[in-house]
Chain A
């Protein structure tokens, strides 16, 4: 089975390559259509026409667009994503500096969303047919209607100002230093073994995680809730009851294993949306990650940075789709025999 699983994962990952290549073409073309000259942007405002022309030549902008793309692709494969016009330093360095913060935020938000979503789904299912179920469903509708950035602003107001429980900006309290081993602040904080540093890191990431995660969890609640209802109509559940298994044993031992499958697929396919949500949430919480960088890059038309971040977002989405496929394969015996 492991061999088959690895084969599935490898096949899915391999399938990402052409999709990713097509996306790079689309993003590259879209950015070239914009009325912005990357050569002009990378020079001071006083640059002469000759200097701009020389820069255009150096950047290959006078070549046909397909040649420009080929040049970009060749350099990108070698790790050279160009130079940031805004920072005047290699784009790869600018982007990689911020990538761990966004991954950390997105992963924590995912864990939060799954925990809240699965717990909420089970809870709603156990009170099915009561007024509490209707109330819960109404609540999920309300939360689903709120975009993550609005939740972020609400949390700042409630937990930052009215009940100042959490800090509303940054990643650590002033004066605290964490040596970077992994690049991920939470992990690095844990490695210091200093409780105050860990607490500071957790309290800083709490609100952005809640804002991002809570925007995603109602969908999980609803999917799991309806999946459990469907599962309970299956004959093996009736047989389990006849075998004398308790409600708890049926739910956690039999039903949940199958009912969770749509949730796994949902998480995999929708993770891209959650990752994309970091864009505004990071800006609102001054979280120094890719989202914050992307907003600034768009404001200043820093094309190489926009391109790099767009591709990272795309790669993450494709990767999670593939992982969801693999997980579904692992969880669903029907897929394995197909």
Chain B
């Protein structure tokens, strides 16, 4: 027995030794010394409330805590805030905070920090994108260090969802007042599971795990983000062993990695949609033309051509499974019907209707080519679109000045898990994102922004989505996918909002 034990021990010791020689960054008990991730962009600012853009959120989330968290399918779960209750009139939100959360400087996170983040920063005049969601906060009453009440100038039924969304991270009031906004931009100090160890702008971010973190401890001791904007270079970094995980690879490379046997690769459907947004005036004032344009687009072909068939096609401005999507309803690809509709308005392939279309080029993979494919599909039924290339920033500017082309290919992200940030924001004429503005749509969408009853609100969005598609007010195309390549020996759970969570990365 003793012999067998000794042999077994020697084998295990040998195996462990070999493992350490082969992968010196692997520790015992599932702990990983370092994981390097090839990431697309630098966070630009370390002030976590400053930017809504999706790419930096995974990085910011490692250093800062959000009041509420989400499961991989975007269901809200407690985090620093353990309990929350929206008032029946939607005009206030009562929150209770944990009492054991500490910032990395050792100070305790309290309701004062919560009030500073979600109200006092706006009053002070800090230019933060957090105000986009929480601009309606009129006051935050701090009842105790672990209890507060947010009050709103108008009903804010999605307040809890916004607490777990982009830019919503609790900052330390004392630290913010000490270092100012410039200090926060360069030297982050949060209550999240990691602390910044090394930061080389546009190049590398090294984070070390906080062993005194209140929440689930990630198995990765050190997390390194290598900022590599070019997808080919990200793939090269993965294949050369420079990084363990590479984000946003081309679908072709994902399929190649899957076949290679040396790497894992996944195409993760995320809460982001690609669609054609249209104006209600000009050429598209004619409902026949709107519907003809929508029926003429072969979405399955687009998915096959640009996402290797991995992207789900969508008929409504939302992703499959998210509340607010009409049930048992669809919109058909039917070029013959497009021709009929155009004929009813006096157009044909010989006498096409002319319109303008805008697209970005490089905002998301394949955007320009996808727009060109749509133009070709339209041409076959009798719609002649003149395509122009703009940047995302120009899109907002053109829309604000009423100069946006009749149609534009666009991408929209909604990590809240609520339809308000999809249909609500896309069609509320008060938002800078709305392009299809009619009194009918406004009458349907605005009440939903102040409807405190969740079921009624979701039902309202289902009806609104069905109405919009019936009117041809938008042409939803596909649900976007996030691609991730990673080395064998790791397991990774993707999130539907596209965020990468360190505690969801483990050694297999």
Contact = CB atoms under 8 A, between A and B. Distances in A.
Contact of A35 (B132, B185, B363, B403): B403
B457 to A, nearest CB: 21
A160 B226 CA distance: 15
B182 A35 contact: no
Interface string A274-301: 0000000001111110001101101111
Interface string B106-129: 000000000000000000000111
B242 interface: yes
B24 to A, nearest CB: 13
A86 interface: yes
Contacts of A171: 200, 203
A286 B202 contact: yes
A44 B200 contact: no
Interface residues of A, number: 45
B493 interface: no
B52 interface: yes
Interface of A: 34-37, 40-41, 43-46, 86-89, 97-98, 153, 156-157, 160-161, 164, 167-172, 174-175, 177, 283-288, 292-293, 295-296, 298-301
A301 B391 contact: yes
A88 B50 contact: yes
B127 A43 contact: yes
A44 B229 contact: no
A286 B394 contact: no
A41 B396 CA distance: 9
Given A168-B237, A168-B242, A286-B228, 19 more contacts: A34-B394, A37-B397, A37-B400, A40-B397, A44-B129, A88-B50, A157-B236, A161-B236, A168-B233, A169-B203, A169-B226, A170-B204, A170-B226, A174-B206, A285-B233, A295-B229, A299-B362, A299-B392, A300-B392
A44 B233 CA distance: 32
B227 interface: yes
Given A46-B135, A299-B362, A156 B236 contact: yes
Contacts of B52: 45
Contacts of A292: 202, 229
A301 B363 CA distance: 13
B303 interface: no
Given A35-B403, A45-B132, A169 B232 contact: no
Contacts of A88: 45, 50, 127, 185
A298 B360 CA distance: 12
A169 B182 contact: no
Nearest to A55: B127
B141 interface: no
Contacts of B132: 44-46
Given A36-B394, A164-B240, A301-B394, A288 B233 contact: no
A87 B44 CA distance: 6
Contacts of A175: 198, 206
Interface in B160-206: 182, 185, 198, 200-204, 206
A86 B236 CA distance: 29
B127 A286 contact: no
A169 B237 contact: yes
B241 interface: yes
A44 B131 contact: yes
Nearest to B201: A288
A87 B58 CA distance: 18
B463 interface: no
B401 interface: yes
29 contacts: A35-B401, A40-B396, A44-B127, A44-B129, A45-B129, A45-B396, A87-B45, A88-B45, A88-B185, A89-B182, A98-B202, A160-B237, A161-B239, A164-B240, A167-B242, A168-B233, A168-B240, A169-B38, A169-B233, A171-B200, A174-B36, A286-B230, A287-B203, A288-B203, A296-B229, A299-B362, A300-B393, A301-B393, A301-B394
Nearest to B128: A44
B491 to A, nearest CB: 23
B13 interface: no
B233 A286 contact: yes
A300 to B, nearest CB: 6
Q: Count chain A CB atoms within 10 A of each CB in B129, B226, B230 and give the residue with the most.
A: B230
Which 8 A/B pairs are nearest by Cβ-Cβ distance? A301-B393, A288-B202, A46-B132, A288-B203, A286-B228, A156-B236, A164-B240, A44-B129
Nearest to A87: B44
Nearest to A286: B228
Q: Count chain A CB atoms within 10 A of each CB in B185, B236, B394, B398 and give the residue with the most.
A: B236
B215 interface: no
A41 B393 contact: yes
Contacts of B391: 36, 298-301
A86 B229 contact: no
A87 B184 CA distance: 12
A12 to B, nearest CB: 34
B14 interface: no
Contacts of A156: 232-233, 236
Contacts of B38: 169
B224 interface: yes
Nearest to B239: A161
A157 B224 CA distance: 23
Contacts of B227: 169, 286, 288
Interface in B45-71: 45, 50, 52
A34 B131 CA distance: 28
B203 A286 contact: yes
A64 to B, nearest CB: 19
Contact of B131 (A41, A46, A167, A172): A46
Interface in B410-436: 432
A5 to B, nearest CB: 40
Given A36-B393, A40-B400, A44-B127, A286 B229 contact: yes
Q: Count chain A CB atoms within 10 A of each CB in B36, B233, B240, B242 and give the residue with the most.
A: B240
B137 to A, nearest CB: 13
B358 to A, nearest CB: 11
Interface in B299-323: none
A77 B357 CA distance: 42
B203 to A, nearest CB: 4
Nearest to A289: B202
B185 A89 contact: yes
Nearest to A43: B127
Contacts of B201: 97-98, 288
A87 B390 CA distance: 21
B227 to A, nearest CB: 6
A156 B236 CA distance: 7
Contact of A169 (B41, B242, B393): B242
A296 B390 CA distance: 15
Contacts of B203: 169-171, 286-288
A293 to B, nearest CB: 7
Contact of B394 (A35, A86, A98, A288): A35
Contacts of A296: 41, 229
A68 B180 CA distance: 31
